[in-house]
Structure 1
């Protein structure tokens, strides 16, 4: 029986999301006949963790659904077993379960547990995920994910709304299925647009690769952080294509193991955006994907709007803009490699990725310094909380520049060890998982 992992990493209260994602898991198992492992990786504070445990205990058993709820102590046991078996350096534990927030690290942990469970794909949601409704029923992305992932593109072509894929890629499996979010744009940057559209163009423009023609630059800036717009779901629309990374959000994505079993995500802490790396890798390796329109409903917690939350996310945004300069070099190298990113058996070659990341780690920090100069000038012109953020950036300037290079070096180190780590996780770590809650399996 096909086995898949629907994962929900969280570090905050999200009991409604747990119930909603469990419903999606049940839907996926019922509709496809797959065994769906709902994996909740919980880094929440004790009170929220206790509420989550109660929410998980209250979930009704669903045929074909297995629930795993791992707190950080349980995740640490799992990771130590996997890293020890693989002979990985001690540094990897810090990269897999860091003290700070890491969007890449939490997803990497999900990849490793999925390998331990024998899953063929990982389907990622976020703690603030909400589903759209059609005729009063939730619109679940897993519907398209399970229908397409792992199948040759030639088989999927007849089941989508349209196919925009080179016929030469017809025999390659669909490695990515994704959509975005609908609703409110990012609270972390939309305030900049409201205060000063030109400042927004210059700041967000730092996320666009150097050398992009101005007409395209402005278009990419206008699309950035906007998600799938505001038009609600009324009917399915799917496209078989090489999926553009900017059309997918990490709260609404599924990847096949032919990608994540060989290359991890950058484990940078307190940095948004770096967890999108595999979307770029899939596109540059010319692996087919399906883009759909079952967008997640965007939702922001009150913490994101508070002074403390604002400052935390502005720092993560600044670190993202520093990382972007280095990642653009890696993406250019991936684009140049193209089909050479795949070995004859099909999986992605991790050596090429590690070499590009290592080269980027040693890049001249002058580009990062220039980016911080732009942020300092523009944030101070915006005043208020933005000027306060500029003070923080200035006080951490040397540290931020050093971390940008160190983060890429860490990514190269993790990529070098990843193949052995996933192989040993698959063979040994499952014995360390707590007893799952399950219901009788679905017969396909």
Structure 2
């Protein structure tokens, strides 16, 4: 029986999301006959954890659905054991810190899901988030796992029969579908919409900072118009799906299924307090021209209140700043991936880690002039906006050198993690994860 992981990382109380995902898991079992491991990796404090635990405990038992709710202590024990058992040259304490840092780390939380899925013996991981809802049509929730389980891991030739449109070459029919994704509707997936309202010209200057510097002005402006917007307000009406090499801008990390032959090879960046560091694996799959499916069961994005006022505003916007600075080290890697193309794949069409690791190592000493320029533009732009953005400019200016150092250190740490990843995956499989009970806490 196919065993899959429906995965939710969370750092806040989200009982409603847990209930929704349990419904999606039950739908997957009833529709596809799979075994679903609903995995909630929870880094909330004790009070918030209790609310999530109550939601898990109240779930109705569903045969074929196994629920695992792991808090900080359980996660630390498991990932320490994995790090110590991995047998590489890296310091286990460093590996543990990259897996479970004492800060918000979007790539790290997904890496934890990947290793836990390996420990559970799952062949795919289906990622969701705690600040998104499913669409509802005629009283029924529109579950993305429908399209994901139709295609993930199957040869492209088989997947072609279950999508509404196929653009994949028949000569590549034996290549596995490694990625199935929808997008999102609702608010921008990066919380900078207020900047667009205040000053569209400043918004364009800021968003252009994350575009590849080698692109023409026209291409960079076109990317600004596409970035962070998903599908706008396009609601679900009927199922549509396309098989081919996805456009990287049409896939969304919180509405995606990934095959284990992808995430067991390449981990995400373990950067702390940095949005967007969880997309490197998607770039590898797209640039290697692996087959993927893009569908229209989009989720609905919304913002949690804490990111818009006071310290929460500064914290989130600093994550955006660090995202912009990370691109200095990521674009050389992505560009190299484009150059390698199908050379990123082995004879069985799985990802090869060697060329990717070489690219990552080669990026760490990149000239910082690009980030000096980035910080100059940020300072000028935030001060033009005034108010709380001027206060943000002061915070960024006070951490200028630290921010550039951290961006480089993130690239260096990623190289260590990529090199250690195969050993960690093997260690996770050997360690295993204690089984959950049907529809109850594991």
User: Which TM-score bucket, shorter chain as reference?
Assistant: over 0.9
Query: Within 5 Å, which residues of 2 pair with 1:14-33?
Result: 14-33=14-33
What are the Cα deviations for residues 319-343 of structure 1, in whole angstroms up to 9, with x where unaligned? 0000112111100011111111112
1:3 corresponding residue in structure 2: 3
Task: Give TM-score, length-normalised by structure 1.
Answer: 0.96
Q: Which residue of 1 aligns with 2:79?
A: 79
Report the Cα distance in structure 2 between the residues aligned to 1:45 and 1:113, rounded to whole angstroms: 21
Distance 2:324 2:181 in 1: 24
Unaligned runs of 5+ in 2: none
The answer to whether 1:41 aligns with 2:34 is no
Separation in structure 1 between the aligned mates of residue 404 and residue 69 of structure 2, nearest angstrom: 37
**Moved beyond 6 Å, runs of 4+:** none
- Picking from 419, 422, 425, the partner of 2:425 is 422
The CA deviation at 1:195 is 1.2
Distance (Å, rounded) in 2 between the aligned partners of 1:392 and 1:400: 11
Q: Which residue of 2 aligns with 1:160?
A: 163
Query: Contact 2:189–2:228 (CA<8 Å) still a contact in 1?
Result: yes
Q: Secondary structure at the match of 1:123?
A: strand
CA distance in 2, matches of 1:121, 1:113: 11
Asked if residue 341 in structure 1 is aligned to residue 351 in structure 2, the reply is: no
Give, in angstroms, the shift of residue 186 of structure 1. 4.2
- Within the alignment, does 1:12 sit opposite 2:12 as a pair? yes
* CA drift at 1:146: 0.6
Match of 1:248? 251
Q: 2:190 touches 2:228 (CA, 8 Å); kept in 1?
A: no
Distance 2:265 2:22 in 1: 28
Distance in structure 2 (CA, Å) of the matches to 1:57 and 1:95: 30
Instruction: Provide the residue aligned with 2:409 in structure 1.
Output: 406
CA distance in 2, matches of 1:235, 1:116: 36
Distance in 2 between residues matched to 1:195 and 1:300, nearest whole Å: 19
Distance verdict in 2 for CA 1:117–1:63, change over 3 Å: same
- SS of the residue corresponding to residue 29 of structure 2 reads helix
Which of 203, 220, 225 aligns to 1:222? It is 225
- TM-score normalised per structure 2: 0.96
Contact 1:187 1:304 (C-alpha < 8 Å) held by counterparts: no
CA distance in 2: counterparts of 1:366 and 1:229, whole angstroms? 35
Match of 1:271 among 261, 270, 274: 274
- Whether 1:382 aligns to 2:385 is yes
The range that moved more, 248-257 or 163-172, is 163-172
1:187 positional shift = 6.2
Matches of 1:131 and 1:213, distance apart in 2: 38
* In structure 2, distance between residues paired with 1:245 and 1:267: 21
Q: Structure 2 matches for 1:60-79, cutoff 5 A?
A: 60-79=60-79
CA–CA separation in structure 1 for the residues paired with 2:356 and 2:277: 14
Question: How many Å apart are 1:251 and its aligned residue?
Answer: 1.3
Secondary structure of 1:207's aligned partner: coil
The corresponding residue for 2:215 is: 212
Report 1:274-313 matches (<5 A). Answer: 274-313=277-316
Equivalent-residue separation in structure 2 for 1:229 and 1:355 (angstroms): 38
Distance across 2 between alignment mates of 1:324 and 1:169:
32
Tell me, in whole angstroms, the C-alpha distance in 2 between the residues paired with 1:325 and 1:168.
Answer: 37
Displacement of 1:439: 5.9
Deviations 1:123-155 (A, max 9, x none): 000011210011110000000001100111111
* 1:164-243 equivalences in 2 (<5 Å): 164-186=167-189, 188-243=191-246
Shift of 1:215: 2.7
Deviates more, 1:86-95 or 1:383-392: 86-95
Q: In the alignment, which residue of structure 2 is the partner of 1:92?
A: 95
Aligned residues: 437
Structure 2 match to 1:367: 370
Give the Cα–Cα distance (whole angstroms) in 1 for the partners of residues 391 and 143 of structure 2: 41
State whether residues 105 and 265 of structure 1, in contact with CA within 8 Å, keep that contact through their aligned partners in structure 2.
yes
Structure 1 residues 290-328: Cα deviation after superposition (integer angstroms, max 9, x where no partner): 001111111211112222221111100000000112111
User: Structure 2: how far apart are the matches of 1:375 and 1:316?
Assistant: 13
Contact 2:289/2:341, CA 8 A, preserved across alignment? yes
Moved more, 207-216 or 382-391: 207-216
User: Does residue 149 of the first structure (1) align with residue 149 of the second (2)?
Assistant: no
Q: Which moved more, 1:215-224 or 1:33-42?
A: 215-224
Please list every run of 5 or more consecutive structure 1 residues that lacks an aligned counterpart in the other structure: none
For residues 78-101 of structure 1, what are the alpha-carbon distances to aligned partners after superposition, in whole Å with 9 as ceiling and x for unaligned? 111111111242211100000110
Deviation at 1:245, TM superposition (A): 2.1
Matched, 1:395 2:398: yes
- SS of residue in 1 equivalent to 2:289: coil
RMSD: 1.3
Once residues 103 and 96 of structure 2 are traced to their aligned partners in structure 1, the CA distance between those partners, rounded to angstroms, is 13
